[in-house]
Amino acid sequence: METISFARGVPAPQLLPIAELADCAKTAIERDGAAALLYGHTLGYQPLREWIGERHGVDPVRVVVTNGSLQAFHFVLSAFAGAGRVIVERPTYDRPRKILSGFDEVALDDGGLDVDELERLLDGGERPAFLYTIPTFQNPAGVTLSEERRRRLAELASARPLRILEDDPYGLVRFEGEPLPTLFELEGGRNVMYSSSFSKTIAPGLRVGYVIVPEEIATGLEARPGDRRGRHVRSRRGLRRRAELGPSRLQLRLARRDRRGCIAAGWASPCCGGGEPAVAAPRRGLQSRG
Ligand SMILES: Cc1ncc(COP(=O)(O)O)c(C=O)c1O
């Protein structure tokens, strides 16, 4: 029997845009070969930083292109090393749990992070290094932070102040409904840092993600010797080229939506016990609730 694993947020192999990415890589090397094959800028390929900066309405000096968004987590962690403990959601993405030697936790419910519990934790303890949160289509719980709680959390970030790393790799993998404002947008990006990834929308093997941080933190990173963030510059150039080609995101969404129908139907199939589906059809891809 074939096993379908829901443990990781991985695109289906049939949906990887292989021919399109090959074309992007060829064009990137032909157009900008010498730069593409040399060490890149520490903070990432400049045109891609500009493109990301434009999408989020921020100065590109604040954009750090990373080898996947997990590296963005490492980077933020190292920037605030010694500044206190990290608060994570219970449950949270398994990788940060493994990376952190100790952490505090705040529970999730159907409306996302329990902001009352967070406030109690903040009232009773030392100032944390930062809160790591996945407000949209959370991994692994699949829940999305409600708009009311987003506004409260954004207010807390400014009022306390509380540093937040908002990890948002799934926001663009939406099948229906309107996107909610990000914490980053609501708070204005002063105490909220925002990371995302092209792993879920294009391909995880590209290893391209990014984080938007205050300018002084980006500058501090640039000055650090021996850092390897300049790697994978070809993927980054290719990605910029893909943006120029015009993303086939609609096609991908439709394909994923079809697969969502299969998942919902699959629960009811004899191999899953038959009967009514045990979960609602997901509103987005990759994790099984939402
Ligand atoms: C919440 C979350 N953040 C980050 C990542 C890692 O993304 P990347 O491949 O960009 O490192 C994942 C991957 O499953 C994830 O679920």
What pLDDT sits at residue 6?
61
CB atoms near residue 57 (< 10 Å):
9
Kindly report which listed range (155-169, 182-196, 203-217, 233-247) carries the lowest average pLDDT score: 233-247
Nearest CA to ligand 1 atom 16: 139
What share of the chain has pLDDT > 90, as a percent?
A: 60
Does the residue 287 lie in any domain? Answer: no
Q: Residue 134 CA: which ligand 1 atom is closest?
A: 1
Residue 40 lies in a domain: yes
Which residues contact residue 124 at a Cβ distance below 8 angstroms, ignoring those fewer than 6 apart? none
Looking from the CA of 78 toward its CB, the CA atoms found within 13 Å total 10
Q: Is the CB of 9 under 6 A from ligand 1?
A: yes
Residue 139 CA, ligand 1 centroid: distance in Å: 9
Q: Which strands form 130-133's sheet, in the order they lie side by side?
A: 63-66, 209-212, 192-197, 164-167, 130-133, 86-90, 103-109, 112-113
State the average pLDDT over residues 172-190: 94
In this model, does residue 255 exceed pLDDT 60? no
CA nearest to 100, candidates 126, 119, 80, 121 = 80
DSSP character at residue 13: G
More confident residue, 236 or 97: 97
Would you say residue 209 lies in a domain?
Answer: yes
- In a domain, residue 265? The reply is no
CA of 1 to the centre of ligand 1 (A): 28
Digit-coded pLDDT (tens) for 118-131: 999 999 988 999 99
- For residue 223, what pLDDT band results from cuts at 50, 70 and 90? confident
Dihedral class, residue 195 (left if φ above 0, else alpha if ψ from -120 to 50, else beta) = beta
> Is 179 among the domain residues?
yes
Q: Whole domain around residue 74: which residue ranges?
A: 18-242
Q: Tell me, in angstroms, the distance from the centre of ligand 1 to residue 30's CA.
A: 31
Query: 167 CB under 6 A from ligand 1?
Result: yes
Cβ atoms of 175 and 282 within 8 Å: the answer is yes
More confident residue, 264 or 34: 34
DSSP H helix total and E strand total for the chain:
10, 8
Distance 169 CA to ligand 1 centre (A): 6
Phi, psi of 264 (to 5 degrees): -60, -40
Tens digits of per-residue pLDDT, 131-152? 999 999 999 999 999 999 999 9
DSSP for 173-229 reads -B-SSPPPPPHHHHHTSSSEEEEEESTTTT-GGG--EEEE--HHHHHHHHH-TT--T
Instruction: Answer whether residue 132 is part of any domain.
Output: yes
Residue 1, domain member (yes or no): no
Handedness of CA 169, 172, 173, 179 (dihedral sign): positive
Alpha-helix runs per DSSP H in 64-146: 69-79, 94-99, 115-124
Put simply, whether the predicted model's pTM sits higher than 0.75 gets the answer yes
Here the tokens at position 24 are 């992007």
What are the pLDDT digits (tens) for 67-114? 999 999 999 999 998 889 999 999 999 999 999 989 999 999 999 999
Number of domains within the chain = 1
- Please, what sign has the CA dihedral across residues 198, 199, 201, 202? positive
Going from the Cα of 69 to the center of ligand 1, the distance in angstroms, rounded, reads: 6
Q: Is the CB of 195 under 6 A from ligand 1?
A: no
Return the pLDDT at 258: 55
Q: Are strands 103-109 and 164-167 parallel, antiparallel or unpaired?
A: unpaired
Supply the pLDDT for residue 112.
97
% the chain with pLDDT above 70: 74
Better-scored residue on pLDDT, 54 or 258:
54
What is the domain-level CATH number for residue 61?
3.40.640.10
Domain contains 38: yes
Q: What is the pLDDT of residue 272?
A: 40
Residue 191 Cβ inside 6 Å of ligand 1? The answer reads no
